[in-house]
Chains A and B, each alone.
Chain A
Amino acid sequence: MTGDAARNDATGELDRRLSAIAHELRTPLSVIIGYAELLRIRDDEQTRREAPVRIQEAAERLTAVIEEILARPALPEGRE
């Protein structure tokens, strides 16, 4: 593999990984924002009961995702 091709491979892999990480972070974040907004604009029993539970679950998932990201190597081995 040429140097250019190897660099393109590494960049492509990094892009894909960052996109996957962003997806993993944004999904629970959007759930937190979504339920918080429901709590703000609605005053029904179901929202008051369900939203805080889901917000907590999403926040815990977000924490787990962050811990998982920090535990991973920044780049695949052998690449700088």
Chain B
Amino acid sequence: MSPPEISVLLVEDDLMVRGWVRLALDGSEFRLAGEAASTAEAVELWRRRRPQLLLVDYRLPDGPGTELVRDLRLLGVTEPAVLMAANLERGFNEAARDADAQGSVLKTGRIEELLQALRTVAEGGHAFDLRHPKRAPGRAALSPREREVLRLVAGGATNREVAAALQVGGETVKTLLARTFAKLGVRRRAEAVSAAHDRGLL
């Protein structure tokens, strides 16, 4: 008897990659429940199809895949998620874990690597590709508060505006920013925003 099918939502903006994943999963226990090319489409498709597993590219046109997984978790989505990346990225697995994904897979074109990662997370395990270099020591994950500050700064807010938005004092904002800079290993606001984007923290 063949194993029961597991429905997968594929979130990937590249048509070529989508075509390959579609064919690679064909004949396996995984069935594509839908294909989304952006985070917005993914949320919409998840609502309609309720897939059992999420396979999400990291670089999406309207935001990083880590942010999509984080948003879906806030919507109550508990299904396992695997994040895909084309490059080896320092701290990628930690960023994926911080977003509450269960695995990461490199887009190497190796079918068995993809299937193995999907099988592991479908069975409740974790499947992080250990070829991604670890996050630099001392670069702890940003707290929700620090991420909020960074998000406001990325939108162009001044310290005073951040303080007003979060209803905290100016000194608190400075402390939060200093801690964020230290965690990201940067010294200026623009660098912090850029580093946070690169690592999928925003």
Is B188 touching A29 in the complex (CB atoms < 8 A)? no
* Residue in chain A with minimal CB distance to B59: A23
Q: By DSSP majority rule, is chain A's interface helix, strand, loop, or mixed?
A: helix
Residues of A close to B188: CB separation below 8 A = 5
- Find residues 16-39 in chain A having any chain B CB closer than 8 Å to their own CB: 16, 19, 22-23, 26-38
Number of A interface residues at 8 Å Cβ cutoff, please give it: 32
CA distance A58 to B107 in the complex (A): 14
Number of residue pairs A-B, CB distance < 8 angstroms: 73
Q: Given A9, A16, A27, A36, which contacts B16 in the complex, CB threshold below 8 Å?
A: A27
B86 within 8 Å of A (CB atoms): yes
Residue in A22, A23, A41 whose beta carbon sits within 8 Å of that of B111 in the complex:
A41
Given contacts A38-B24, A54-B16, contact A22 B87 (CB under 8 A): yes
Q: Is the CB of B194 within 8 A of A29?
A: no
The answer to whether A37 touches B86 (Cβ under 8 A) is no
Decide if B139 is an interface residue (CB 8 Å cutoff): no
Distance of A62 from chain B, by nearest CB (Å): 11
Closest to B194 in A: A12
Once A8-B191, A12-B191 are accepted as A-B contacts, the answer to whether A22 and B109 lie under 8 Å apart by CB is no
